[in-house]
Chains A and B, each alone.
Chain A
Amino acid sequence: MMQRVHVSGKKPIGIIVAIVCVGVAILFGVHVSHEDSAHPSSDSGSIDAEMVHVASTVGGRLKELRVVVNQHVHKGDVLYQLDPEPYELIVRQAQANLDLANAEVENQTRLLSIKTTSAATADDQVVRARTNRDLAARTVKRLKPLAGQSYIPWQQYDQARVALHDAEVSLSQSKNQSVAATTAIGDLKSSLAARDASQAALDHAKYELRQTVVTAPADGYVTSLRVKAGEVLAPSQVLFTLIADDEWYATANIREINLSSVQIGDCVTVHSMIDRHSPLRGHVESIGWGVLSVDSAGIARSLPIVPRQMDWVHVAQRFPVRIRLERANPLLLRLGATATVEIRHGAACP
């Protein structure tokens, strides 16, 4: 017994100390590892904000630039103005077209009135022709027995019959003329439609004229502005980027194995590395639903790309967790700044 102890370790107290130390270290390590995965953190996060790529829907020469790079602007402030002259000319042209269309409507209204009167006249002509025809018919009817008994010459009876035929032709003609005159009255539809089209063209021209003045869509900072007045811009060409500063966010990539312990609304301590001593408080707003991984990358309509070689050890995928920051010192918030993120612990989450 003594010899066996002597061979393996010499001093029993030393063995006990070694076993205790190693055991405590292992248990402590397991505990810390458990704690760490229950409270995910990341030191590679970044400060994030929404932005607007400021552009006008119309093009033209940049006439007046009222902002400089890195300036703070408020929603509704005028940022820049394009040369409005071409658009004012288009408005004038459209206004003239509208006036023309309005005049045409009045013209057509007058024509319509004339045609309506003509149709009424044609109707009166029909009445007159019918009266004449009726008289001629009665005359023929009266003269027929007289002519048969030779009280009057046949010549007179023939003349009456011809007059009746003449009156019937006149009646038929005047009826046709009446139908033609009624049909010719028409309506104002085409001229009214032309006027509406001109009105829409004028409204569009005025809209484009308004678009030459570009205002700030949100409070924020002007960034990446490198041009001066005089630059010619194409429609929708981005002049600079406006970083909205009404809401700030931090984005941290958290390993998928720790995502189950991240809940929406969890308190988060964020340190912007601009000043690593000032903790910012935030809350988990959402967790990204998808990232593109190299294994699944490929053309959508083609066959999947499956590499032949594979790794035995796989690195955990990370997903971006979006954290909405509470009001903080604006000097700490710059888009893209490095940030450390501690979910459900840290200085701001007691």
Chain B
Amino acid sequence: MRFTRLRFLIPVSCLLASEGCTLQGAPSFPVVGAYFPDWMVCGLVGVAVAVGLRVIFLLTGLDAILSFRLFTYVALGVIAALTVWTLVFGP
């Protein structure tokens, strides 16, 4: 079951992670000789999702009906980060 979810996620992770299509493996990512933990990748995904959604919502005009935009986008980013953790790294 886990693997099907992973396979579904691989195209997404190809876009998001600097590692490319190699998210499977240890929950620790080598970048120029240093290991970065999995939660840091999740955080980057969260930031990227928040920024991306902001751009998309601005373009589609959805942004106009939102209020408390800072809290909303931060919450959306957090949800995205936690989703990645649950699906890819979590138990």
The answer to whether A283 has its CB under 8 Å from any CB of chain B is no
Q: Kindly provide the distance from the CB of B24 to the nearest chain A CB, expressed in whole angstroms.
A: 7
A339 (CB) vs chain B CBs: closest residue: B26
Chain B residue numbers with a CB within 8 Å of A39 are 90-91
Count how many chain A residues have C-beta atoms less than 8 Å from C-beta atoms of the other chain: 35
Decide yes or no: A340 and B26 within 8 Å by CB, A32-B90, A43-B35 being known contacts.
yes
- Residues of B at the A interface (CB closer than 8 Å) are 2, 22, 24-28, 30, 35, 37-38, 65-68, 71-72, 74-76, 78-79, 82-83, 85-86, 90-91
Chain A residue numbers with a CB within 8 Å of B82 are 25, 28-29, 32
* 7 tightest A-B CB contacts, nearest first: A271-B26, A14-B67, A345-B91, A21-B75, A276-B26, A25-B75, A18-B68
Chain B residue numbers with a CB within 8 Å of A276 are 25-26, 28, 30
Q: How far is the CA of A15 from the CA of B65 in the complex (A)?
A: 9
- Residues of A at the B interface (CB closer than 8 Å) are 9-11, 13-15, 17-18, 21-22, 24-25, 28-29, 32, 35-36, 38-39, 41, 43, 271, 273, 276-279, 338, 340, 342, 344-347, 350
- Asked if A22 contacts B66 (CB within 8 A), the reply is no
Q: How far is the CA of A282 from the CA of B82 in the complex (A)?
A: 28
Q: Kindly provide the distance from the CB of B39 to the nearest chain A CB, expressed in whole angstroms.
A: 9
- Asked if A21 contacts B76 (CB within 8 A), the reply is yes
Chain A residue numbers with a CB within 8 Å of B78 are 25, 28-29
Q: Kindly provide the distance from the CB of B19 to the nearest chain A CB, expressed in whole angstroms.
A: 10
Q: How far is the CA of A276 from the CA of B24 in the complex (A)?
A: 9
- Asked if B27 contacts A342 (CB within 8 A), the reply is yes
Q: Kindly provide the distance from the CB of B1 to the nearest chain A CB, expressed in whole angstroms.
A: 9
